[in-house]
Amino acid sequence: MTQGFTLWLTGLSGAGKTSIAVAVEHELLARGVRVERLDGDTVRQGLSRDLGFSKADRDKNIERVTFVARLLSRNGVAVIAAFISPYRAARDAARRETTGFIEVHVSASVAVCAARDTKGLYAKALAGEIADFTGVNDPYEAPLAPELTLHTGEETLAQSVATVLAYLEDRGLIPAAQPAASEDSL
């Protein structure tokens, strides 16, 4: 059984958490790693559908996710968690309670994220139509000592994913990619 870990992606909406999480999950599955991906959007449709975006509700959301990540990671599963998770204390609790916690700051400026506006939410938030929108009218506490920082405004998705995979490989948490079959071996 491979060693479980919790790859925790934090950052503003539109910074690239889901894109990176999906690509890393895909690659881990291809390498035979048991993986579970937890994403803010799906968790808020299910486990946390009763919660809003006040600080108390955000804390409760991350507390629940941490609980799930703890159960999985201690049983050898590679957990990929993609949550804005704006509060440092809540992320620090996840660090304490899960196995092999790796904090990844998916970093992009509000300007970059607003220009992407993948969900059309920045336009609304900047027009004052959404209260409690992280980075616009709600706080984001950047990690102070993350294991990795990905500057997604300045690198491609493939580059960000490669950085994460290299980090996991270097620590022996995932097997190296199988080399592509060469003409000779066919």
Q: Active-site residue numbers?
A: 85
* Cα 131 to chain centroid, rounded: 23
Sketch the per residue contact string, 68 through 97, with ligand ATP: x for CB under 6 A, - otherwise: --------------x-x-------------
3-state secondary structure of 150: strand
Among 11, 86, 135, 143, binds ligand ATP (CB under 6 A): 11
Q: Which is nearer to ligand ATP, 77 or 121 (CB)?
A: 121
SS3 category, 64: helix
Residue 100 sits at the vertex; the CA angle it makes with 7 and 95, to the nearest 5 degrees, is 80
CA–CA distances in Å: residue 50 to residues 46, 55, 128: 9, 14, 24
Q: Which does 19 bind (CB under 5 to 8 A by kind): Mg ion, ligand ATP, none?
A: ligand ATP
Q: Which of 152, 165, 168, 173 binds ligand ATP (CB under 6 A)?
A: 152
By CB under 6 A, is residue 105 in contact with ligand ATP?
no
